A and B are shown apart, each in its own frame.
Chain A
Protein backbone atom coordinates (compact mmCIF):
# COMPACT_ATOMS: atom_id res chain seq x y z
CA UNK A 1 0.00 0.00 0.00
CA UNK A 2 1.46 3.32 -1.05
CA UNK A 3 1.30 6.73 0.50
CA UNK A 4 -0.01 9.94 -1.04
CA UNK A 5 0.63 13.31 0.50
CA UNK A 6 -1.32 16.10 -1.18
CA UNK A 7 0.41 19.46 -1.19
CA UNK A 8 -1.47 22.67 -1.94
CA UNK A 9 0.52 25.73 -2.96
CA UNK A 10 0.02 29.28 -4.16
CA UNK A 11 0.25 27.91 -7.70
CA UNK A 12 -1.32 24.51 -7.92
CA UNK A 13 -1.42 21.17 -6.14
CA UNK A 14 1.19 18.46 -6.10
CA UNK A 15 1.01 14.81 -5.09
CA UNK A 16 3.99 13.28 -3.30
CA UNK A 17 3.79 9.52 -3.58
CA UNK A 18 5.80 6.91 -1.74
CA UNK A 19 5.84 3.23 -0.97
CA UNK A 20 5.02 1.78 2.42
CA UNK A 21 8.49 2.54 3.77
CA UNK A 22 7.93 6.25 3.11
CA UNK A 23 11.59 6.74 2.26
CA UNK A 24 11.55 7.29 -1.50
CA UNK A 25 9.20 9.88 -2.97
CA UNK A 26 8.00 10.84 -6.40
CA UNK A 27 6.23 14.05 -7.27
CA UNK A 28 3.23 14.51 -9.55
CA UNK A 29 1.76 17.81 -10.64
CA UNK A 30 0.91 20.52 -10.77
CA UNK A 31 -2.82 20.05 -10.69
CA UNK A 32 -4.86 23.26 -10.96
CA UNK A 33 -1.84 25.06 -12.27
CA UNK A 34 -2.02 28.74 -11.36
CA UNK A 35 -4.69 28.31 -8.67
CA UNK A 36 -4.18 28.46 -4.93
CA UNK A 37 -4.98 25.06 -3.49
CA UNK A 38 -6.05 25.44 0.10
CA UNK A 39 -7.55 22.15 1.31
CA UNK A 40 -8.04 18.46 0.58
CA UNK A 41 -10.31 15.79 2.01
CA UNK A 42 -11.66 12.34 1.27
CA UNK A 43 -15.39 12.62 0.65
CA UNK A 44 -16.28 9.25 2.15
CA UNK A 45 -17.62 7.75 -1.07
CA UNK A 46 -14.27 6.91 -2.59
CA UNK A 47 -13.80 10.35 -4.14
CA UNK A 48 -11.59 13.24 -3.14
CA UNK A 49 -12.34 16.91 -2.58
CA UNK A 50 -9.97 19.78 -3.27
CA UNK A 51 -10.48 23.51 -2.66
CA UNK A 52 -9.09 26.19 -4.94
CA UNK A 53 -8.86 29.92 -4.60
CA UNK A 54 -7.81 32.86 -6.72
CA UNK A 55 -7.32 36.56 -6.17
CA UNK A 56 -9.29 37.10 -9.39
CA UNK A 57 -11.78 34.27 -9.67
CA UNK A 58 -12.81 33.36 -6.12
CA UNK A 59 -12.94 30.01 -4.36
CA UNK A 60 -14.44 26.71 -5.47
CA UNK A 61 -14.63 23.06 -4.53
CA UNK A 62 -13.76 20.18 -6.86
CA UNK A 63 -14.19 16.41 -6.85
CA UNK A 64 -12.14 13.58 -8.32
CA UNK A 65 -12.26 9.81 -8.23
CA UNK A 66 -8.60 9.40 -9.13
CA UNK A 67 -6.87 12.67 -8.12
CA UNK A 68 -6.28 13.37 -11.81
CA UNK A 69 -9.59 14.30 -13.44
CA UNK A 70 -11.53 16.93 -11.48
CA UNK A 71 -15.02 18.37 -11.73
CA UNK A 72 -16.08 21.57 -10.01
CA UNK A 73 -18.94 21.12 -7.53
CA UNK A 74 -21.75 23.47 -8.49
CA UNK A 75 -23.24 23.84 -5.01
CA UNK A 76 -20.12 24.34 -2.94
CA UNK A 77 -20.00 26.32 0.29
CA UNK A 78 -21.35 29.82 -0.40
CA UNK A 79 -22.66 32.82 1.45
CA UNK A 80 -26.15 33.92 0.36
CA UNK A 81 -26.42 35.88 -2.86
CA UNK A 82 -27.05 39.55 -2.25
CA UNK A 83 -25.57 39.48 1.24
CA UNK A 84 -22.64 41.36 2.66
CA UNK A 85 -20.37 38.38 3.28
CA UNK A 86 -17.84 37.24 0.68
CA UNK A 87 -16.41 33.75 0.53
CA UNK A 88 -12.76 34.26 -0.36
CA UNK A 89 -11.18 30.93 0.62
CA UNK A 90 -12.13 27.42 1.67
CA UNK A 91 -9.55 26.92 4.37
CA UNK A 92 -10.28 23.45 5.66
CA UNK A 93 -12.29 20.35 4.81
CA UNK A 94 -12.96 17.81 7.55
CA UNK A 95 -14.84 14.52 7.37
CA UNK A 96 -16.29 12.56 10.26
CA UNK A 97 -18.21 9.56 9.03
CA UNK A 98 -20.91 10.80 6.68
CA UNK A 99 -20.51 14.38 7.82
CA UNK A 100 -18.29 16.85 6.01
CA UNK A 101 -17.43 20.31 7.28
CA UNK A 102 -15.88 23.22 5.41
CA UNK A 103 -14.33 26.16 7.23
CA UNK A 104 -14.14 29.30 5.15
CA UNK A 105 -13.04 32.91 4.97
CA UNK A 106 -15.02 35.18 5.50
CA UNK A 107 -15.40 33.13 8.63
CA UNK A 108 -18.05 30.49 8.62
CA UNK A 109 -18.77 26.80 8.81
CA UNK A 110 -20.65 24.73 6.22
CA UNK A 111 -21.93 21.17 6.53
CA UNK A 112 -22.61 18.44 3.99
CA UNK A 113 -24.21 15.03 4.39
CA UNK A 114 -24.01 13.97 0.73
CA UNK A 115 -20.25 13.59 0.34
CA UNK A 116 -19.78 17.25 -0.46
CA UNK A 117 -22.29 17.59 -3.28
CA UNK A 118 -24.32 20.23 -1.43
CA UNK A 119 -23.55 22.37 1.59
CA UNK A 120 -25.61 24.12 4.23
CA UNK A 121 -24.44 26.92 6.52
CA UNK A 122 -24.09 26.07 10.21
CA UNK A 123 -26.13 29.00 11.43
CA UNK A 124 -25.57 28.34 15.12
CA UNK A 125 -21.94 29.34 14.61
CA UNK A 126 -22.18 31.60 11.57
CA UNK A 127 -24.80 33.81 13.19
CA UNK A 128 -23.34 33.60 16.68
CA UNK A 129 -24.35 36.48 18.93
CA UNK A 130 -20.70 37.53 19.24
CA UNK A 131 -20.19 37.81 15.48
CA UNK A 132 -20.28 41.61 15.52
CA UNK A 133 -17.02 41.47 17.52
CA UNK A 134 -15.23 39.07 15.18
CA UNK A 135 -12.23 40.84 13.66
CA UNK A 136 -9.88 39.46 11.00
CA UNK A 137 -6.24 38.68 11.70
CA UNK A 138 -3.41 39.10 9.22
CA UNK A 139 -4.54 35.93 7.46
CA UNK A 140 -8.15 37.05 7.31
CA UNK A 141 -11.31 36.22 9.23
CA UNK A 142 -10.96 32.53 8.82
CA UNK A 143 -12.52 29.33 10.14
CA UNK A 144 -9.50 27.16 9.57
CA UNK A 145 -9.79 24.08 11.77
CA UNK A 146 -12.65 21.70 12.56
CA UNK A 147 -12.36 18.78 14.96
CA UNK A 148 -15.16 16.29 15.45
CA UNK A 149 -14.84 14.18 18.59
CA UNK A 150 -14.31 10.58 17.51
CA UNK A 151 -16.20 9.24 20.53
CA UNK A 152 -19.01 11.77 20.47
CA UNK A 153 -19.69 13.23 17.01
CA UNK A 154 -22.09 15.77 18.52
CA UNK A 155 -19.07 17.48 20.08
CA UNK A 156 -17.30 19.70 17.57
CA UNK A 157 -14.59 22.32 17.90
CA UNK A 158 -13.94 25.08 15.39
CA UNK A 159 -10.97 27.43 15.39
CA UNK A 160 -11.42 30.91 13.96
CA UNK A 161 -8.68 33.51 13.81
CA UNK A 162 -8.58 36.09 15.29
CA UNK A 163 -11.68 35.10 17.25
CA UNK A 164 -10.91 31.89 19.12
CA UNK A 165 -12.13 28.34 19.61
CA UNK A 166 -15.83 27.49 19.72
CA UNK A 167 -17.34 24.19 20.84
CA UNK A 168 -20.69 22.66 20.11
CA UNK A 169 -22.04 19.85 22.27
CA UNK A 170 -25.19 19.31 20.23
CA UNK A 171 -24.03 18.50 16.74
CA UNK A 172 -23.55 22.11 15.69
CA UNK A 173 -26.88 23.57 16.78
CA UNK A 174 -25.37 25.83 19.45
CA UNK A 175 -21.83 27.00 20.10
CA UNK A 176 -19.87 28.50 22.96
CA UNK A 177 -16.47 30.20 22.96
CA UNK A 178 -13.84 28.05 24.66
CA UNK A 179 -10.96 30.37 25.40
CA UNK A 180 -10.86 30.58 29.19
CA UNK A 181 -7.33 31.29 30.35
CA UNK A 182 -6.11 32.44 26.98
CA UNK A 183 -4.47 35.83 26.46
CA UNK A 184 -6.52 38.04 24.17
CA UNK A 185 -4.92 39.17 20.92
CA UNK A 186 -7.77 41.50 20.01
CA UNK A 187 -9.90 43.61 22.31
CA UNK A 188 -13.42 42.33 21.65
CA UNK A 189 -14.81 44.88 24.10
CA UNK A 190 -18.37 43.76 24.84
CA UNK A 191 -17.74 39.99 24.80
CA UNK A 192 -15.52 37.92 27.03
CA UNK A 193 -13.80 34.94 25.50
CA UNK A 194 -13.58 36.49 22.01
CA UNK A 195 -10.51 37.97 20.33
CA UNK A 196 -8.13 35.01 20.62
CA UNK A 197 -5.93 34.34 17.65
CA UNK A 198 -5.82 30.57 17.40
CA UNK A 199 -3.54 29.21 14.69
CA UNK A 200 -3.68 25.45 15.20
CA UNK A 201 -5.78 22.97 17.16
CA UNK A 202 -5.47 19.21 17.65
CA UNK A 203 -7.22 16.61 19.78
CA UNK A 204 -5.35 13.93 21.70
CA UNK A 205 -6.37 10.56 20.22
CA UNK A 206 -5.89 8.91 23.61
CA UNK A 207 -8.01 11.39 25.56
CA UNK A 208 -10.87 13.23 23.84
CA UNK A 209 -10.97 15.89 26.56
CA UNK A 210 -7.36 16.85 25.91
CA UNK A 211 -6.66 19.30 23.11
CA UNK A 212 -3.66 21.40 22.22
CA UNK A 213 -3.63 24.74 20.50
CA UNK A 214 -0.92 26.73 18.83
CA UNK A 215 -1.91 30.29 19.43
CA UNK A 216 -0.60 33.60 18.21
CA UNK A 217 0.48 34.18 21.80
CA UNK A 218 1.81 30.74 22.72
CA UNK A 219 1.10 27.02 23.00
CA UNK A 220 -1.69 25.80 25.28
CA UNK A 221 -3.39 22.63 26.52
CA UNK A 222 -6.81 21.78 27.89
CA UNK A 223 -7.86 18.68 29.82
CA UNK A 224 -11.56 19.49 29.92
CA UNK A 225 -12.49 19.83 26.27
CA UNK A 226 -11.56 23.48 26.08
CA UNK A 227 -13.23 24.84 29.20
CA UNK A 228 -9.84 25.84 30.61
CA UNK A 229 -6.42 26.23 29.02
CA UNK A 230 -2.87 26.32 30.38
CA UNK A 231 0.36 27.43 28.77
CA UNK A 232 2.85 24.67 27.81
CA UNK A 233 6.07 26.10 26.37
CA UNK A 234 8.88 24.59 28.48
CA UNK A 235 11.79 24.09 26.11
CA UNK A 236 10.42 26.01 23.13
CA UNK A 237 12.57 28.84 21.73
CA UNK A 238 9.43 30.85 20.99
CA UNK A 239 5.71 30.56 21.58
CA UNK A 240 4.58 31.82 18.20
CA UNK A 241 3.91 29.39 15.38
CA UNK A 242 1.16 28.06 13.17
CA UNK A 243 0.63 24.28 12.93
CA UNK A 244 0.35 21.75 15.73
CA UNK A 245 0.18 18.02 14.96
CA UNK A 246 -0.14 14.92 17.13
CA UNK A 247 0.92 11.52 15.82
CA UNK A 248 -1.34 8.77 17.15
CA UNK A 249 1.17 5.91 17.07
CA UNK A 250 3.99 7.65 18.91
CA UNK A 251 1.82 10.02 20.93
CA UNK A 252 4.24 12.80 20.03
CA UNK A 253 3.19 16.37 19.57
CA UNK A 254 4.90 18.59 16.98
CA UNK A 255 5.15 22.37 16.50
CA UNK A 256 7.34 24.69 14.44
CA UNK A 257 8.23 27.72 16.60
CA UNK A 258 8.78 31.11 15.03
CA UNK A 259 10.39 34.17 16.54
CA UNK A 260 7.59 36.54 17.59
CA UNK A 261 4.49 37.61 15.76
CA UNK A 262 6.40 40.58 14.38
CA UNK A 263 9.10 38.58 12.63
CA UNK A 264 7.52 35.16 12.01
CA UNK A 265 10.85 33.53 11.23
CA UNK A 266 12.81 30.66 12.80
CA UNK A 267 14.81 31.94 15.74
CA UNK A 268 18.25 32.95 14.41
CA UNK A 269 17.48 31.19 11.13
CA UNK A 270 17.56 27.77 12.80
CA UNK A 271 14.59 26.05 11.20
CA UNK A 272 13.56 23.27 13.60
CA UNK A 273 10.52 21.18 14.40
CA UNK A 274 10.04 20.71 18.13
CA UNK A 275 8.33 17.72 19.68
CA UNK A 276 6.94 16.74 23.03
CA UNK A 277 6.85 13.18 24.35
CA UNK A 278 4.89 14.08 27.46
CA UNK A 279 1.78 15.86 26.30
CA UNK A 280 3.37 19.25 26.09
CA UNK A 281 4.97 19.30 29.56
CA UNK A 282 8.32 19.83 27.87
CA UNK A 283 9.67 20.24 24.35
CA UNK A 284 12.90 19.48 22.52
CA UNK A 285 14.26 19.66 19.00
CA UNK A 286 12.77 16.80 17.02
CA UNK A 287 15.71 14.74 15.88
CA UNK A 288 18.03 15.49 13.00
CA UNK A 289 17.97 16.35 9.34
CA UNK A 290 17.12 20.03 9.48
CA UNK A 291 18.66 22.51 7.04
CA UNK A 292 21.75 24.51 7.87
CA UNK A 293 21.38 27.82 9.69
CA UNK A 294 20.21 30.83 7.73
CA UNK A 295 17.00 29.05 6.80
CA UNK A 296 14.43 31.78 7.11
CA UNK A 297 11.22 30.07 6.19
CA UNK A 298 8.01 29.18 8.00
CA UNK A 299 5.28 26.53 8.03
CA UNK A 300 1.73 27.80 7.68
CA UNK A 301 -1.20 26.53 9.73
CA UNK A 302 -2.47 23.98 7.22
CA UNK A 303 0.90 22.83 6.00
CA UNK A 304 1.76 20.00 8.40
CA UNK A 305 0.03 16.64 8.74
CA UNK A 306 0.58 13.12 10.03
CA UNK A 307 -0.27 9.66 8.76
CA UNK A 308 -0.83 8.71 12.42
CA UNK A 309 1.88 6.03 12.32
CA UNK A 310 5.02 8.05 12.75
CA UNK A 311 4.96 9.87 9.45
CA UNK A 312 4.98 13.67 9.70
CA UNK A 313 4.95 15.84 6.58
CA UNK A 314 5.39 19.59 6.38
CA UNK A 315 5.69 22.20 3.66
CA UNK A 316 7.37 25.55 4.01
CA UNK A 317 6.73 29.01 2.67
CA UNK A 318 9.94 28.51 0.68
CA UNK A 319 8.36 25.57 -1.12
CA UNK A 320 10.32 22.77 0.51
CA UNK A 321 8.78 19.57 1.86
CA UNK A 322 10.20 17.71 4.85
CA UNK A 323 9.22 14.21 5.88
CA UNK A 324 9.91 11.82 8.73
CA UNK A 325 8.79 8.20 8.95
CA UNK A 326 10.08 7.60 12.49
CA UNK A 327 8.04 10.13 14.44
CA UNK A 328 10.56 12.90 14.14
CA UNK A 329 13.84 11.11 14.82
CA UNK A 330 15.20 11.78 11.33
CA UNK A 331 13.92 14.23 8.73
CA UNK A 332 14.45 14.17 4.99
CA UNK A 333 13.96 16.88 2.39
CA UNK A 334 13.08 15.73 -1.11
CA UNK A 335 14.87 17.73 -3.80
CA UNK A 336 11.83 19.62 -5.08
CA UNK A 337 11.16 23.31 -4.66
CA UNK A 338 7.49 24.14 -5.01
CA UNK A 339 5.61 27.44 -4.79
CA UNK A 340 4.73 28.72 -1.31
CA UNK A 341 3.04 25.80 0.44
CA UNK A 342 -0.38 26.43 1.96
CA UNK A 343 -1.69 22.97 2.78
CA UNK A 344 -0.38 19.46 3.33
CA UNK A 345 -2.73 16.53 3.72
CA UNK A 346 -2.07 12.81 4.04
CA UNK A 347 -4.66 10.92 2.01
CA UNK A 348 -5.71 7.53 3.28
CA UNK A 349 -4.40 8.03 6.82
Chain B
Protein backbone atom coordinates (compact mmCIF):
# COMPACT_ATOMS: atom_id res chain seq x y z
CA UNK B 1 0.00 0.00 0.00
CA UNK B 2 1.03 3.59 -0.60
CA UNK B 3 1.22 6.29 2.00
CA UNK B 4 -0.93 9.24 0.96
CA UNK B 5 -0.96 12.60 2.67
CA UNK B 6 -4.41 14.09 3.28
CA UNK B 7 -4.65 17.83 3.84
CA UNK B 8 -7.73 19.50 5.28
CA UNK B 9 -8.81 23.14 5.63
CA UNK B 10 -8.59 24.76 9.03
CA UNK B 11 -12.34 24.55 9.67
CA UNK B 12 -12.11 20.75 9.70
CA UNK B 13 -8.90 20.49 11.70
CA UNK B 14 -10.83 20.05 14.95
CA UNK B 15 -11.97 16.63 13.75
CA UNK B 16 -8.33 15.60 13.39
CA UNK B 17 -7.54 16.82 16.88
CA UNK B 18 -6.24 20.15 15.62
CA UNK B 19 -4.03 18.81 12.84
CA UNK B 20 -4.60 19.78 9.21
CA UNK B 21 -2.63 16.91 7.76
CA UNK B 22 -2.63 13.15 8.22
CA UNK B 23 -1.41 10.08 6.36
CA UNK B 24 -3.49 7.14 5.21
CA UNK B 25 -2.49 3.85 3.62
CA UNK B 26 -4.29 2.89 0.43
CA UNK B 27 -3.94 1.39 -3.03
CA UNK B 28 -6.31 3.73 -4.82
CA UNK B 29 -7.69 7.23 -4.43
CA UNK B 30 -11.09 5.79 -3.54
CA UNK B 31 -9.37 3.57 -1.01
CA UNK B 32 -7.62 6.57 0.53
CA UNK B 33 -10.94 8.40 0.91
CA UNK B 34 -12.62 5.33 2.36
CA UNK B 35 -9.77 4.94 4.86
CA UNK B 36 -10.03 8.60 5.81
CA UNK B 37 -13.72 8.23 6.65
CA UNK B 38 -13.14 5.02 8.58
CA UNK B 39 -10.49 6.72 10.69
CA UNK B 40 -12.46 9.97 11.02
CA UNK B 41 -16.17 9.22 10.48
CA UNK B 42 -17.17 12.72 11.62
CA UNK B 43 -15.71 14.06 8.36
CA UNK B 44 -18.33 12.39 6.21
CA UNK B 45 -21.16 14.81 6.90
CA UNK B 46 -18.86 17.72 6.07
CA UNK B 47 -17.55 16.36 2.77
CA UNK B 48 -20.63 14.66 1.33
CA UNK B 49 -24.30 15.58 1.25
CA UNK B 50 -27.31 13.29 1.57
CA UNK B 51 -27.07 12.27 -2.09
CA UNK B 52 -23.60 10.86 -1.47
CA UNK B 53 -22.02 13.50 -3.69
CA UNK B 54 -19.22 15.80 -2.68
CA UNK B 55 -20.74 18.99 -1.24
CA UNK B 56 -21.11 21.64 -3.96
CA UNK B 57 -18.58 24.04 -2.43
CA UNK B 58 -16.01 21.43 -1.44
CA UNK B 59 -13.23 20.52 -3.82
CA UNK B 60 -11.06 17.48 -3.51
CA UNK B 61 -7.73 17.47 -5.30
CA UNK B 62 -5.65 14.36 -6.03
CA UNK B 63 -2.22 15.93 -6.32
CA UNK B 64 -2.98 18.76 -8.77
CA UNK B 65 -6.11 17.24 -10.26
CA UNK B 66 -9.61 18.15 -9.20
CA UNK B 67 -11.38 14.88 -8.42
CA UNK B 68 -14.39 16.10 -10.40
CA UNK B 69 -12.26 15.90 -13.53
CA UNK B 70 -11.52 12.22 -12.98
CA UNK B 71 -13.73 9.64 -14.63
CA UNK B 72 -13.14 7.29 -11.71
CA UNK B 73 -11.62 7.46 -8.24
CA UNK B 74 -10.25 3.94 -8.68
CA UNK B 75 -6.87 5.27 -9.74
CA UNK B 76 -3.68 3.82 -8.22
CA UNK B 77 -1.95 6.03 -5.66
CA UNK B 78 1.74 6.17 -4.83
CA UNK B 79 3.90 7.08 -1.86
CA UNK B 80 3.98 10.85 -1.44
CA UNK B 81 0.72 11.53 -3.29
CA UNK B 82 -1.53 14.12 -1.72
CA UNK B 83 -5.26 14.45 -1.33
CA UNK B 84 -6.29 18.01 -0.54
CA UNK B 85 -9.75 18.98 0.64
CA UNK B 86 -10.35 22.60 -0.33
CA UNK B 87 -13.02 25.05 0.67
CA UNK B 88 -14.14 26.52 -2.63
CA UNK B 89 -13.71 30.22 -3.08
CA UNK B 90 -17.37 31.12 -3.15
CA UNK B 91 -19.24 34.16 -2.09
CA UNK B 92 -18.11 37.75 -2.34
Contact = CB atoms under 8 A, between A and B. Distances in A.
Interface string B2-16: 000000001110110
Interface in A72-130: 72, 74, 76, 78-83, 85-87
B45 A80 contact: no
A80 B58 contact: no
A57 interface: yes
Interface in B17-37: none
A72 B15 contact: yes
Interface residues of B, number: 21
Contacts of B52: 81-82
A63 B49 CA distance: 22
Interface string B27-63: 0000000000000011001110111100101100000
A54 B50 contact: no
Contact of A56 (B15, B41, B58): B58
A177 B14 CA distance: 41
Contacts of A86: 49-50
Interface residues of A, number: 23
B42 A34 contact: no
B70 interface: no
Majority SS at the chain A contact face: loop
A11 B52 CA distance: 27
Given A35-B11, A72-B15, A72-B42, A56 B57 contact: yes
Among the interface residues A55, A59, A78, which one has the most CB atoms of the partner chain B within 10 A? A55
B91 A55 contact: yes
B50 A60 contact: no
Given A54-B11, A87-B50, 13 more contacts: A35-B11, A55-B91, A56-B11, A56-B87, A57-B47, A58-B55, A60-B46, A70-B14, A78-B50, A79-B50, A81-B50, A81-B51, A81-B52
